[in-house]
Homo-oligomer: A and B are copies of this chain.
Amino acid sequence: MKTIVIKLSGSLFSMDSGPSGIKKIVKTLDGLARNGVKVVAVAGGGKLARDIQKTARTFHADEALLDQFGIDVSRIHAKLLTTVSNKACPDIPTTLDEVLRYSTSHPIVFSGGLSPGQSTNATAALIAERIKAKLFINATDVDGVFTSDPRKNKNAILIKAITPKDLLKKLGNEPMNAGTYDLMDILSLKIIERSKIPTMVIKCDNRRIKSAISGKSTGTKIIF
């Protein structure tokens, strides 16, 4: 049976796009489930997580606790996803073992973050590794990996394919504070590399998710 892990950008849950964006994507995942594909989708924390982390930072909370606030918010997002789906496990897992257990008895599992010190990207990569996923889709708030940050540089060009090692070099000098820009962090890449997980980095919208699932080229492909 085919298994897919998809990381859903936290930006999906900000109120701008509204609930309709969430609905469409969950319907797509339900469709996959009906066709016998096993899905684990990991929700990000997004702006709400960053807002709470900002308040906690004014109280001098440590970074690991800030990570935990991000995890708490991402789990609320995951629970929201369960209310739309007809195929999902009603529980949100809190450990990697629970992800595995729930996914053996439910076609779809929605998860948030699992552990401080790990972005939801890295968590999704670990899950992909643990359940031996055939495809890991990282659905972010940008179109893929660019030659430079496209939000700062208009001339940034989308990279169609890149190795974990090359991507690592691009990211190596970035800071790692809770909630910062984390397109694909180092830990995720190390995991993708060590287990050679087939990975796509795409924008988080329903059309492109469908394309990525059906194997069409969109965004950036991680190659080995």
Contacts and interface: CB of A to CB of B under 8 A. Distances in A.
Interface of A: 15, 19, 22-23, 48, 51-52, 55-56, 58-65, 68-69, 72-73, 75-76, 79-80, 83-84, 89-91, 96-97, 100-101, 104-106, 114-118, 122, 125-126, 129-130, 132, 165, 168-169, 172-173, 175-177, 186-187, 190-191, 193-195
A80 to B, nearest CB: 6
> Which residue among A19, A72, A130, A132 has the maximum number of chain B CB atoms within 10 Å of its CB?
A130
Contacts of A195: 62-63
Contacts of A59: 19, 22-23, 80, 83-84
A175 B23 CA distance: 29
A48 B177 CA distance: 24
A84 B97 CA distance: 17
A53 to B, nearest CB: 10
Kindly report how many copies of this chain are found in the complex they form together. Answer: 6
Given A90-B97, A96-B116, A69 B76 contact: yes
Q: From DSSP, what is the main secondary structure of chain A's interface residues?
A: helix
Contact of A91 (B15, B61, B73, B101): B101
Contacts of A176: 190-191, 193-194
A176 B187 CA distance: 9
A65 to B, nearest CB: 7
29 contacts: A55-B80, A56-B80, A56-B83, A59-B83, A61-B83, A62-B129, A62-B130, A64-B126, A65-B79, A65-B130, A68-B79, A72-B79, A73-B76, A89-B104, A90-B97, A90-B104, A91-B100, A115-B115, A117-B122, A117-B125, A117-B187, A118-B118, A165-B173, A175-B193, A175-B194, A176-B194, A186-B187, A186-B190, A187-B187
Nearest to A73: B76
Contacts of A116: 96, 126, 130
A132 B62 CA distance: 7
A128 B224 CA distance: 35
Which A-B residue pairs are the 4 nearest by beta carbons?
Answer: A115-B115, A61-B83, A64-B130, A59-B83
